[in-house]
Amino acid sequence: MTTNALRRNGSKGQAGDKVFSGAALGAGILILATLLAVAIFLFIQALPTFTADPTLITGGEGFASYIFPIVIGTVIAAAIALLIATPVGIAVALFISHYAPRRLAAGLGYVIDLLAAIPSVIYGAWGYLVLAPALVPTFQWLAANLGFIPIFAGPASQTGKTILTAGIVLAVMVLPIITSLSREIFLQTPKLHEEAALALGATRWEMITMSVLPFARPGIVSAVMLGLGRALGETMAVALVLSTGGLIPSLIKSGNQTIAAEIALNFPEAFGLRLAELIAAGLVLFVITLVVNLIARAIIARHKEFSGAN
């Protein structure tokens, strides 16, 4: 008697809904499972490193002293890359989205997207053949005039193959990622908010700081994080451009090493404990990436109340 005519009765649309939500859930689980599988694989393979006699580890003083310098090297290279690429990328993206005439903007956007698709070995070759030699005079000038600052301490590298060069090459590589994502987000700024600023008598730049940038903030953080991912994990370009060595504060001498390049350079000949060591290094890189991403999420979440999503 109590059949409710409003109760659902298995129409086609409903089935589609179920299939889609199932597929979305499945895809979500798959991603998490993959991440977990990678973490477990890295951990198991790396395990011997943590249990082995410290004297057997490369450097002879245990894993921590082996990994520490290259963690710092990785962070330095990535930091240089982001310090350069973030402001430049945002500026270029703003130029394309809010300043350039429409034709030019379309062309520029296209070129930037193309840049993102260039394989890293090409950037590496360019860094090795063109950029490194070209930077030598600058490095010498820095050593001569700003050498009292530890990061510019001389004598400067004669080949230009330094961590600063590697950082610059990485900056060029992540620039298109940051630019292209930021531009997409800048273009999505609601016209309503842009006009609100303009109607109050804002200049174009004020309109950008009042409407566009606040709206784009979380997106910019994501763009930078993706760029950082590429900078942290880059092997070829760094391996080609950096002449490696121990940890030193000077950015314009040969020296320093990044985790990704360390793994790539040594992996082919590695076996046994050395292999486990490199995989442990990979695990550390994985953790660094995760931590950085969590921090970025936290930054975004802290401003949720003012995000405009409510």
Name the residues that contact another protein, by CB under 8 A.
102, 190, 192-203, 206, 210-211, 214-215, 217, 303, 305-308, 310
Distance of closest approach, residue 219 Cβ to another protein, in angstroms:
13
Amino acid at the residue 109: G
Structural contact between residues 170 and 238, judged by C-beta atoms closer than 8 angstroms: yes
Q: Which alpha helices (H) appear in 147-256, and where do they start and end?
A: 163-187, 191-199, 204-207, 213-233, 236-241
Q: State the DSSP H helix or E strand holding residue 92, giving kind and residue range, or none if neither.
A: helix 62-94
Packed helices 272-302 and 259-266: angle between N→C axes, nearest 10 degrees? 160
Pick 71 or 197: Cβ nearer another protein: 197
C-alpha distances in angstroms, 53 versus 66, 259, 289, 299?
A: 13, 22, 28, 41
Nearest Cα to Cα of residue 178 among 166, 167, 170, 190: 170
Pick 20 or 306: Cβ nearer another protein: 306
Distance of closest approach, residue 94 Cβ to another protein, in angstroms:
17
Distance of closest approach, residue 305 Cβ to another protein, in angstroms:
6
Q: Which residues of 121-160 are buried (b: 16+ CB within 10 A; e: fewer)?
A: eebbebbbeebbeebbeebbebbeeebeeeebbeebbeeb
Which tokens go with 194?
């842009």
Distance of closest approach, residue 212 Cβ to another protein, in angstroms:
11
C-alpha distances in angstroms, 41 versus 36, 38, 46, 109?
A: 8, 5, 8, 40
